[in-house]
Amino acid sequence: MKTMLFSPGPVMVEDKVRQTLLHYDICHRSPEFEEMFVRLQALILKIFEADDSYYSVVVSGSGTSANETCLSSVFAPGDSALLINNGEFGERLHEILTKHNVPHINYACGWACDPDLAQVEEYLKNDESIKYVCAVFHETSTAMINPIPELAKLAHKYGRRIFVDCVSAAAGQHIKAAENGIDICTSVGGKCVGAYPGSAYVCAKKEILESLTPEMGKTVYLNLAKHYQMAVAKHQTPNTPNVNLFWPLEAAMDHIINEEGLDAYIERHKECTKIVRDGMRELGLRFLLPEEKMSNTVTSVFLPEGKDVAAFIKRMGDAGYTVYAGKGKYYDMNMFQVATMGAIYPEDCRKFLEVLKTKI
Ligand SMILES: Cc1ncc(COP(=O)(O)O)c(C=O)c1O
């Protein structure tokens, strides 16, 4: 059944973006692909508000593949990481680092809890092997925004770098990669940019990418050095990419940067979220987090006590709206999540609220 996606990915896609799926077939070893790839790379830098000291590559895979590409490629023997872990996607980064045998401090400060910056500084002071602080910009499982500028400052104070999973943040929040000094960041088409899942991308400081070798990478496919070297040499990808998803990714980003404008795009998402949250407050629903900690796009909210969250999600689905069940312990606490990402407009949010009123 066709529903409106108020879920944090996949998201609603503009018709003009969807139409690009019908682009005629091209070969990824052709000048036409190379030209489109170069345009896309430039758009990616703009989405992250990066400058020309950065470079971007596209990885055919989900958001996790972009994170895994970075975290399995940038550590040399003897290096370690400091992971700020306060939710499901922090846990995912922990899993990736563990799987690739990257030694790391897993600073698990508790889901939805603020990392203690003094503690972070202590870790950095006492362990010279830490090469990267790793963190999630928007911890989607709670909807919390982490203090990335502060973490980046601390990392740089001690001569370290910062990797930031921006999978659910890019184009929903201002990332300001250059201003905040984010060294490496990632995202994927099927989130706030309003394209499709499976088209992930990485933006990183050129000097880092220059320093990598394919041998440092722990996998064949998710190998950042290979992606970078192939992109620089030929404007291509090392393996056969999902060419058909490059067109909608380019169209979605072109819409944001060259038509609606990044500021206006983010403002629209904020406005939509405000409408949803104001309506929920009127219904007496309780949020997981105080307003100032929540992202521009996702709201984590509890159903009234005694209601069954699975049944509620089904009722919403039957009425044409997809919302998300809370993750982990929050599911048992009757939490659900509503996202306004991609092609969602204020009028859609007002209609959504009308339905929500009758289904809780
Ligand atoms: C912050 C964050 N990181 C990573 C991921 C994983 O992305 P994917 O499911 O596309 O692999 C998600 C997915 O929602 C996410 O929100």
How many angstroms does the Cα of residue 337 sit away from the middle of ligand 1? 15
Contact in structure between 17 and 252 (CB atoms under 8 Å):
yes
Residue 217 structure tokens? 């990478």
Give the type of residue at 197. Answer: P
Q: Is 43 in the pocket of ligand 1 (CB under 6 A)?
A: no
Ligand 1, atom 8: nearest CA belongs to which residue? 63
Q: Is 238 in the pocket of ligand 1 (CB under 6 A)?
A: no
Q: Is 172 in the pocket of ligand 1 (CB under 6 A)?
A: no
Q: Is 89 in the pocket of ligand 1 (CB under 6 A)?
A: yes
How many angstroms does the Cα of residue 94 sit away from the middle of ligand 1? 13
- What's the gap between Cα 237 and its chain centre? 21
Residue 260 carries which DSSP code? Answer: I
Residue found under tokens 């659910």: 168
How many helices, marked H, and strands, marked E, lie in the chain? 14, 15
Mutational pocket test of ligand 1: of 96, 167, 196, the residue with most ligand atoms within 8 Å of the beta carbon = 167
Residue 337 structure tokens? 């999540």
CA distance 81 to 161: 10
pLDDT at 24: 98
Closest CA to 165 of 197, 205, 206, 137: 137
Q: What angle do CA 16, 14, 227 make, to 5 degrees?
A: 85
How many angstroms does the Cα of residue 63 sit away from the middle of ligand 1? 5
CA distance 249 to 239: 18
Q: What SS3 class is residue 273?
A: helix
Residue 9 structure tokens? 């990915």
How many angstroms does the Cα of residue 86 sit away from the middle of ligand 1? 14
Nearest ligand 1 atom, CA 136? 1
**Spatial CB neighbours of 312, under 8 Å, sequence gap ≥ 6:** 303, 336, 359, 360
Contact in structure between 87 and 329 (CB atoms under 8 Å):
no
Q: Is 64 in the pocket of ligand 1 (CB under 6 A)?
A: yes
Domain 4-9+262-359 has CATH 3.90.1150.10: yes
How many angstroms does the Cα of residue 239 sit away from the middle of ligand 1? 23
Q: What SS3 class is residue 228?
A: helix
Mutational pocket test of ligand 1: of 11, 64, 199, the residue with most ligand atoms within 8 Å of the beta carbon = 64
Ligand 1, atom 2: nearest CA belongs to which residue? 167
Which ranges of the chain have pLDDT less than 50?
Answer: none
How many angstroms does the Cα of residue 89 sit away from the middle of ligand 1? 7
CA distance 214 to 194: 32
Residue-wise pLDDT tens digits, 238-265: 999 999 999 999 999 999 999 999 999 9
Contact in structure between 217 and 226 (CB atoms under 8 Å):
yes
Q: What angle do CA 240, 246, 248 make, to 5 degrees?
A: 150
pLDDT at 62: 98
Q: Is 61 in the pocket of ligand 1 (CB under 6 A)?
A: no
Q: Is 63 in the pocket of ligand 1 (CB under 6 A)?
A: yes
Residue 90 structure tokens? 């922090």
Mutational pocket test of ligand 1: of 65, 70, 140, the residue with most ligand atoms within 8 Å of the beta carbon = 140
Q: Is 93 in the pocket of ligand 1 (CB under 6 A)?
A: no
What is the Cβ-side half-sphere exposure of residue 80, based on CA atoms within 13 angstroms?
Answer: 13
- What's the gap between Cα 207 and its chain centre? 23
Q: What SS3 class is residue 144?
A: strand
How many angstroms does the Cα of residue 8 sit away from the middle of ligand 1? 9
The dihedral through the CA atoms of 38, 44, 45, 47 has a sign that is positive
Give the type of residue at 80. Answer: S
Q: Is 167 in the pocket of ligand 1 (CB under 6 A)?
A: yes
**Spatial CB neighbours of 53, under 8 Å, sequence gap ≥ 6:** 178, 205, 206, 207
Closest CA to 86 of 128, 138, 43, 126: 138
Domain ranges of the chain: 4-9+262-359, 15-259
pTM of the entire predicted model: 0.98
Return the number of other C-beta atoms located less than 10 Å from residue 45's C-beta: 19
The CATH number assigned to the domain with range 15-259 reads: 3.40.640.10
